[in-house]
Chains A and B, each alone.
Chain A
Amino acid sequence: MGVIRKFKKNFSDIFKRMFKKQNARIGIYGPPNAGKTTLANRIVRDWTGDAMGSVSHIAHETRRARRREGVTIKTNGSSISLDIIDTPGLATKIDFHEFMEQGMDEAESKRRAKEATEGVIEAVKWLENLDGVILVMDATEDPFTQVNVTVIGNMEARSLPLLIVANKVDLAEASPSTIRDAFPQHPMVSISALEGKNIDTFYEELAKRFG
């Protein structure tokens, strides 16, 4: 694309952002079992009183993206309205045997694995239709996963805002500082989506990044 066309496109994007009526679309991303749906449920429950989806200790519980429109978050005297998209966990491999190890029979495990692959495809497709991403990481796990690297790279390539959430800090083995050291170029908030720990700071950061 030529330089002039790029200038035109950027000016057009800024113009659209200034006068758009739609809410910013924010995707909640991360590897399976990082706590994406727990966080989505907390946001939606705190600001609308509803829930978003079911939560399970078995990976790939969320196999369809769920969208909740017009969630208004009020913090520090200002308010922002967001569309929240809870996406299925991203992965580069899915083996049905892992579901069998959780006690499912073979047929159910294969069906579940198939749905999980479809969920990953849906999550990848959503990346192209977002205004920003909340990337949820399990603070008890190694943050240098390919999923994290790929999501962060895609946001950086599109110059879109990203907020990293170091989740599960209620657990003794959590190490949010490892996540901060891994991706120092992006803002990070440490929370427990399950217990609500530090959730007010998360909302303030959310408003700052996506408002």
Chain B
Amino acid sequence: MSMQGFQMDLVSEHRLSEMSPVEKVRFIIDEVKNGKILVLEKGLSPEEEASLIEMTMTLIEPDGFSGIEMESYPSEVDTSFLGKILKKNTLKSRLTVIGPADQLKTLRRDRNMISALISTNK
């Protein structure tokens, strides 16, 4: 009996840190359009999240790709002394789950818990 299901890739912080912001967004979009669910160990920066939303919108097609479901925890602000001096907040991004909108559905989420439903039926 063949096993049916979806593919889930757990992407380490190290793997993503080797990519530029553009490469990260491209990598995520390509994988998700192929039906994969990605779990990013360290997530994306807020700017990268915005870029991902922007690129997603350019690729939406009727009866095709309808977008992504993205679930990340709110970033944590690094309030170190140096950060305050530079007046630039350093945000610590956190675990993020991204998948095709027609397969991944958020059930519940709070500051420290994400509950999601993954469907094998499109």
Contacts and interface: CB of A to CB of B under 8 A. Distances in A.
Are A and B co-members of a single complex?
yes
Interface of A: 3, 6-7, 10, 90-96, 110, 113, 117-118, 120-121, 124-125, 127, 142, 144, 146, 149-150, 152-154, 156-159, 182-183, 185
Nearest to B57: A117
Given A90-B53, A93-B66, A144-B109, 8 more contacts: A7-B86, A93-B60, A96-B62, A113-B60, A127-B50, A142-B108, A157-B46, A159-B88
Interface string B63-88: 00011111111110100000000111
A63 B45 CA distance: 26
Contacts of A146: 49, 69-72
Interface of B: 45-47, 49-51, 53-54, 56-58, 60, 62, 66-75, 77, 86-89, 91, 93, 101-102, 108-111
B50 A154 contact: yes
Contact of A91 (B58, B67, B72, B111): B67
A interface: dominant SS:
helix
A150 B50 contact: yes
Contacts of B56: 92-93
Nearest to A185: B77
